[in-house]
Structure 1
Amino acid sequence: MERISVMKPWLAEAEAEAVIDVIASGWVAQGPRTAAFEAAFAAHQQVAHAVATSSCTTALHLALKVAGVQAGDDVVVPSFSFIATANAPTYLGARPVFADVEAATGNVTVDTVRAVLTAKTTAVIAVDQGGMPLDLQPLRELCDERGLALIEDAACAAGSTYRGAPAGKGADVTAWSFHPRKLLTTGEGGMLTTDNSAWAERARKLREHAMDLSAAQRHSATLAPQESYGEIGYNFRMTDLQAAMGLVQLGKLDEMVQRRRQLASRYQQAFANVPGLRCVADPEYGTSNFQSFWIHIGPEFGKDREQLLAQLAEDGISARRGIMAAHLQPAYAGHSGLLAPLPVTEQLAAATLILPLYHQLAEHEQDRVIASVLSPVLSTAAGA
C-alpha cells in the first residue's frame, strides 16, 4: 500500500528550468532574480516593499530590529506556534511573553494579548497559524493605542485573505516562509513585507551585513566604490536560485489555494457530524489557504490523538501532531515570560492532529485518509 505523505511541495519542470537559467546566467547569489521576486511578491500582497531573506526566522529577526525592539523589551507572542516565533525576539535580547489563543483558529486575540501586556512591551507578534488568518483589526487598534509595533508572522499564510485583502497587509511589518511545507516554496527562504520605506531600506542593508552598497551596485561597476558598514548586520540573503523558483511558484499560488480549499471542504463534509471531531474552518472575516488542515479530537471520539496517529500510520498514512506549545519545550522551561495560564494553547497542543493536504493529493487518496480517521467510529457502529 503506497504511503500518503502529510505534505508534498508542488514542483515541476518549470521550476527546474528557471534554476537552470540562473546557473547559465553566471549570477547565482542575491541579484536580479531576487529583485524580480521581491517586486512580484509585493504586488501580489498589495504592499509597497518586499525584502527577500534566507528564512522566515531571519525575516522575523529583521522585522523586530527595524521596528525598534531592543534588549530588555517585552514582545508578546503566541506559545501556540513553531518555536521560531519565540526565538526571534530572544535573539535580540528581548523577552518573549506568551499569550493564549482562541480555540477556533489557534490565533491570538486582542483579549489574550491585552492580558499579558507589560510596561516593557514594545511589540506584538501575531501569527496566522497554519494559514488561518487572524483577526488583525482589533490588534491594530490596541497596538496603535499603546504605541506598539504590530508584526505579523504570516509564515504559513501566502494566499490567505483578511477582510477581502491579502493576509499580512495591515501589519506594520510581516514575515513569510518559503519552507517546503508551505504552499509557495523556494526550498528555504523567507520575505519581509512592509509599507514603511525606511524600514524596508534598513532591512535590505541589514540582511547584507549592513553594507551601504548592494551586491548589484558593486558588481555592476568595473571599479567598485569603497563600501561602508554603518552598524552590525547579518548574512540573511536569498539566492537567485531560490528566487527563480519563487517566481514560478508565485504564478501557481492561486491555483494551489483553490485546490487546497477544495480538499479541505471534502474533509469538512466527511467529518461534519462525527462526535468528538472538530475541523479547522474559515473565520467569518477571512479565508484560509489551508496550509495545514487540522482536526481537534475530543473525548467523545473514542480514540485520543496518539491512538489516531497510530491508526493512520498503520494504514500507511503520515499525519502529524498539531502545532507545538513553545512554553512547554525544554528551551523555555522556567521562562519568565509565562505571565498567565495558557489553557487553550495546552489543550490544542495536546489534542490536535494535522492530516495530509497538498496540491497533488488525489481524491481516492484523501478517501483513504477519511476512512482511516473514521474507522474507530465505523467499528463502534458495526458492533452496536
Structure 2
Amino acid sequence: MLEVSPRTIPIARPDLGEEEAAAARRVILSGWITQGPEVATFEDEFAAYVGTTHACAVANCTAALHLALHALGVGLGDEVITVSHSFIATTNAIRYCGAVPVFVDIDPRTYNIDPGLIERAITSRTRAILPVHQVGLPCDILPILEVAARHNLPVVEDAACAIGSELRVQQKWERVGKPHSLVACFSFHPRKLLTTGDGGMLTTLDPELDRKFRVLRQHGMSISDTTRHLATTVVFEEYSMLGFNYRMTDIQAAVGRVQLKRLPALLMRRSKLASHYTERIKGISGLIPPHVPAGVRTNYQSYAVQVTDQYATSRDQLMRKLLEQGISTRRGIMNAHQEAAHTDLAHSDLTCSQVARDSVILLPLFAEMTLEEVDRVVDALIP
C-alpha cells in the first residue's frame, strides 16, 4: 500500500472562505472597485471595533507609517526613536521622510522596545517615538507615553501585527488601536490575523490629523472620489499639497469587512492553539515559550520560542530538522541595523535585539491548524 506522507505544515495560512469570495464578487460586479463606499464602511466598522473615532484605510502598513510620520511633519534630518528589532518597514518608513532612525534595545523577554532606554536617546532633533507591538504582543505603552509627554513628543504605534490585542488601562481592557498614542498603524498582510490581501489602517482620535491622512493618501486631492461622483454640479479638484497614491480598493475593503466579523473567533482559536503549544513546550529543556506580561493580551500573530544554549542543537539546526519533516518555521524577527540597506546607521548597544534575532524560532500558527498538528510540531522539537 502506498504510504501517504503527512502534509507540510506552513508557517501561516490566511483564513479566507466563501463569504470573502462572495464579498469580493459583489464589489467587482458593482462597477466600483477602487476606493469608495466599501472602504468608508470598513473604516467605520474598524474604528468601532478598536474603540476610536477615526480610521483611515490605506494600501499597506508601510504606507500608514509613512503617512503618520509625514503628516506629523517629520522631515529631513529629524530623528525618530524606534527599535531595530522589527520588520524592515518600520525603519524604511522613517527614512522615506528623510529622517534618521535612532535605535534602542528591546526587553529580552517580550522582544518589544525597552521603555527605560528611550529617554536617554532623546536629543534636540527627536521628533517622534515609534514603538512596535511585536508579533502581536502589546508593548509597555504607558511608560512610553509618560516619557513622550515630558518631552512633548508624538508617539506613533506600529501595530502592524496587533489587531485584536489588548492592554489593561486603569483596570479596564482596551484594544490596541484606540489608540493610546496619537496614531496607530495596522497591517492586513496575509501573515496577519485580518487580511485584505494587503492593506493598512491608521487610527487616531484627532479629526484634523485624520483629515490630513485622507487628503495625503489620494495625491493631495481636495475632494474625494465619492464626493465628486455624487456631485449634482460640475466640481474641480485642487492639489494644495504633495500627496501619495496610498489608497485601498473597495474589493479589499469588502474582504476586510468579512474578516473583521470573523476576528473574535480567529482570536479564540489562535489562543487555544498557543496555549497548547505553551503547555507542551515548557517541559522541553532549552526552549522558552512566549512571555506574556500581566496587563496585556496578545493575539499570537506569531508564536515565538527562544532556543537557549541548554537546548540539544542550535536554532538553525533545529529549523533544518523541522523543514526535513515538513514543518515550516522562520527565524526570529529581523534587525534593520544588520541589513545592508541600513548598515550606515549609527546605533547604541543592541545586544538583546541581536540575541533575539539569532536565537528565536517562529513556529507554525494559523486558525485552521489542528491540535494534532501542534503536537506534531512539538514532537519534532523534542531532542
Task: Tell me the alpha carbon deviations over residues 316-356 of structure 1, each in whole angstroms, 9 at most, x when there is no partner.
Answer: 101111100110000011313x1x11010000000000000
**Counterpart of 2:236?**
226
Task: Tell me the alpha carbon deviations over residues 152-184 of structure 1, each in whole angstroms, 9 at most, x when there is no partner.
Answer: 000000010011100132011010000000000
1:68: Cα distance to partner? 2.2
Structure 2 Cα separation of the partners of residues 115 and 294 of structure 1 = 29
**Counterpart of 1:379?**
none
**Is residue 162 from structure 1 mapped to residue 167 from structure 2 by the alignment?**
yes
Structure 1 Cα separation of the partners of residues 343 and 140 of structure 2 = 30
**Counterpart of 2:276?**
266
Task: Tell me the alpha carbon deviations over residues 2-55 of structure 1, each in whole angstroms, 9 at most, x when there is no partner.
Answer: 100010010000000000110111100000000000000000010110000000
**Counterpart of 1:189?**
199
**Counterpart of 2:143?**
138
Q: Matched residue of 1:149: which SS?
A: coil
Aligned length: 373
Of 109, 116, 126, the match for 2:121: 116
Q: Is the 8 A contact 1:51 1:204 kept in 2?
A: yes
1:366: Cα distance to partner? 1.2
**Counterpart of 2:352?**
344
1:112: Cα distance to partner? 2.2
1:67: Cα distance to partner? 1.9
Structure 2 Cα separation of the partners of residues 39 and 152 of structure 1 = 20
- Match for 2:308: what amino acid? G
**Is residue 57 from structure 1 mapped to residue 62 from structure 2 by the alignment?**
yes
Of 369, 378, 383, the match for 2:377: 369
Structure 2 Cα separation of the partners of residues 287 and 212 of structure 1 = 40
Correspondences of 1:186-265 after superposition (within 5 Å): 186-221=196-231, 223-265=233-275
**Worse-matched range after superposition: 272-281 or 55-64:** 272-281
TM-score by length of 2: 0.96
Structure 2 Cα separation of the partners of residues 125 and 195 of structure 1 = 17
Q: Is the 8 A contact 1:135 1:285 kept in 2?
A: no
Task: Tell me the alpha carbon deviations over residues 59-86 of structure 1, each in whole angstroms, 9 at most, x when there is no partner.
Answer: 0011111222121110011100000000
TM-score by length of 1: 0.96
**Counterpart of 1:16?**
21
Q: Is the 8 A contact 1:153 1:176 kept in 2?
A: yes
Structure 2 Cα separation of the partners of residues 327 and 93 of structure 1 = 17
1:222: Cα distance to partner? 5.2
1:281: Cα distance to partner? 2.9
**Counterpart of 1:382?**
none
Of 332, 348, 365, the match for 1:357: 365
**Counterpart of 1:309?**
319
1:213: Cα distance to partner? 0.4
Structure 2 Cα separation of the partners of residues 199 and 109 of structure 1 = 28
Deviating beyond 6 angstroms after TM superposition, the runs of 4 or more aligned structure 1 residues are: none
**Counterpart of 2:190?**
180
1:223: Cα distance to partner? 4.3
Structure 1 Cα separation of the partners of residues 30 and 205 of structure 2 = 32
Q: Is the 8 A contact 1:322 1:348 kept in 2?
A: yes
1:224: Cα distance to partner? 3.5
Structure 2 Cα separation of the partners of residues 36 and 171 of structure 1 = 24
Which stretches in structure 2 are left out of the alignment for 5+ residues? none
Q: CA RMSD in A?
A: 0.9
Q: Is the 8 A contact 1:122 1:147 kept in 2?
A: no
Structure 2 Cα separation of the partners of residues 65 and 171 of structure 1 = 16
Structure 2 Cα separation of the partners of residues 112 and 274 of structure 1 = 33
- Match for 2:270: what amino acid? R
Percent identity over the alignment is 42
**Counterpart of 1:300?**
310
Structure 1 Cα separation of the partners of residues 99 and 154 of structure 2 = 14
**Counterpart of 1:290?**
300
- Match for 1:306: what amino acid? D
